[in-house]
Amino acid sequence: MKSTPLTECIGSEIEGVDLSNTSKEEILQIKQLLLDRGVLFFRQQSLSSQQQAHFVERFGSSVPQTWMPSVCPNVYIVESLPSESYNYRGGFMNWHQDSTFFEYYPHGSLLSAQKLPALGGDTLWSSTQRAFEALPDSIKRMLLHLEALHDLTASRIYRLDPFMKSTDIKSEIKHMLDNRPCIHPVVEKHPLTGKPCLFVNRVWTSKIVDIDFALSEALLQLCYDWISKPRFQVRWRWELGDVALYDNISTAHIAIHDYSDTRLLYRSDFRYD
């Protein structure tokens, strides 16, 4: 197995491994690389949905995503429509960590490329761990004592399209009611490394609790802008069959929606055992 760092602080491309047939030793090595680099990329894997689910199971317990369409247990459809017809009110064009509106959110995820546009559709990841480390000590101390509310409706409530069928609206509202807001630290300590990571995002975070709303907005904006600094980022240009495996605490990500064809990825989530 060969690991090639793509930037100084985040991301490595991994060669010489077949994710459909990995040994225990390879899994341990991949897991350590994931903790060290935040996101790992594997070319030309072309995993079936069952192979993808099996590989992710070896990292930890699955996280059911009942609000997402699936092809099999713990393999979910992430489909993005062409730029001219995409509903930009959805919020997913912002930097985010996945499903933080859950109390038991995913610690990590895998994406596999099933269908890609001819041009565009890259994804960027940013190291929330390195972003926190780079903050002035005075700001670090302040953020370490704060908690934030994460809310499914923060993104989904204003995506209710007036032209949706009534059954679709009922389904959306049920998702909201089934996933009530929860509170997470603004700076989350990684469960395996113990390292602090910024853990707020524009998609799911609604406010910092127990402080004035205007002050909350200012502090959240500071965190959002800092996470999006290019110095903390890696960019991946997808090819069909590629796999991206990423830590959902020490990184945030954003999809670049700049294409005229549909893009289809399969996603699987896990929590570290």
- The reported pTM is 0.91
Q: Give the CATH number of the domain where residue 33 resides.
A: 3.60.130.10
Q: In the structure, what pLDDT confidence band is assigned to residue 93 with cuts at 50, 70 and 90? A: confident
CA distance linking residue 131 with residue 203, whole number of Å: 18
Amino acid in the structure at residue 128: T
| Closest-CA residue to 248 (of 156, 150, 122, 116) | 150
Amino acid in the structure at residue 76: Y
Q: Domain range holding 216?
A: 2-272
Per-residue burial over 247-265, b = 16 or more CB atoms within 10 Å of its CB, e = otherwise: bbbbbbbbbebebebebeb
pLDDT for position 160: 44
**DSSP label at 190?**
P
**DSSP label at 7?**
S
What residues are annotated to the active site? 96, 98, 253, 267
pLDDT tens for each residue of 118-166: 999 999 999 999 999 999 999 999 999 999 999 887 765 444 444 444 4
Contact 175, 69 (CB under 8 A): no
Q: Which of 56-60, 93-97, 98-102, 248-252 has the highest mean pLDDT?
A: 248-252
| Closest-CA residue to 265 (of 51, 78, 44) | 78
| Closest-CA residue to 86 (of 203, 266, 261, 267) | 261
How many domains does the chain contain in total?
1
